[in-house]
Amino acid sequence: MSTVRGVIFDKDGTLFDFARTWEAWAQALLQRLAGPEGDAAALGACIGFDTATARFAPDSLVIAGTPDEIAEALAAALPHMNRVQIVALLNEEAAQAPQAEAVPLVPFLSGLRAGGLMLGVATNDAETPARAHLQTAGALDLFDFVVGSDSGHGAKPGPGQLLAFCQTTGLEPGEVLMVGDSTHDLLAGRAAGMRGIGVLTGMATADTLAPHAVAVFDNIGHLPAWIAAQG
């Protein structure tokens, strides 16, 4: 088994706790889209979000979907807006969404870097709001590579984002861990030839993630000890 030399993280549900971050975003987004006379609850149903309970369904498109996919799901209920306008609004609201760190990110990432690891982020979010979230957390400069679904490498579960990380860093896929909270993340890692680590700070259960991962943790804070144990 290859030594771990790099780690590429999903963002939402992995670096940041999914529910604590995106439930508030969804409420604000849907109210803005609906306007004073619209039906925010009906819009929420289009993307698997219950406005009454402020909770996502386990299979919500928002969990692993791209802005384009979310916009497509909303478009039929928003005939006065085109998909480009919806995506722009999604990205605008996403960039402002307050992020709840899964663990304190700066010390966590600094420790990984001190151990000689190269670090990346591969998200199905757009790249601009992803960078804004990492910058707000003070963590952007700790990554060697940040890519979104609109960066030209495709989206997960395809392997393009992860292979671009390898091309950028010079690492082999077998030297890299893909860490994520959804099967999209882990399947992308497998397709790229990487080992997958699942975390439970998203919406998926351990039973869902375990068949696709070499380990499943409550959060990313357990990762350094696991890497050290690999020798």
What's the distance, CA 139 to chain centroid? 15
Q: How far apart are CA 135 and CA 157, in angstroms?
A: 25
Q: Tell me, what's the pLDDT at 95?
A: 85
Stated pTM of the model: 0.88
Does position 64 have pLDDT exceeding 90, yes or no? no
Encode pLDDT of 111-140 as tens digits: 999 999 999 999 999 999 999 999 999 999
What the block records as the tokens of 166 is 């390898």
Does residue 173 contact residue 193 with C-beta atoms inside 8 Å? Answer: yes
Encode pLDDT of 162-200 as tens digits: 999 999 999 999 999 999 999 999 999 999 999 999 999
Does position 231 have pLDDT exceeding 80, yes or no? no
Q: Tell me, what's the pLDDT at 97?
A: 83
Does position 32 have pLDDT exceeding 70, yes or no? yes
Confidence category of residue 38, pLDDT binned at 50, 70, 90? confident
Q: Which domains does the chain have, with CATH numbers?
A: 6-17+101-229 (3.40.50.1000), 21-96 (no CATH)
Q: What percent of the chain shows pLDDT beyond 90?
A: 87
Does residue 73 contact residue 60 with C-beta atoms inside 8 Å? Answer: no
Q: How far apart are CA 181 and CA 199, in angstroms?
A: 5
Does position 2 have pLDDT exceeding 90, yes or no? no
Length of the chain: 231
Nearest partner of 81 among 134, 34, 16, 15, judged by Cα: 34
Does position 1 have pLDDT exceeding 70, yes or no? no
Contacts 24+ apart (CB under 8 A), 43-52: 43/74, 43/77, 43/78, 46/73, 46/74, 46/76, 46/77, 47/73, 47/74, 49/23, 51/27
Does position 39 have pLDDT exceeding 70, yes or no? yes
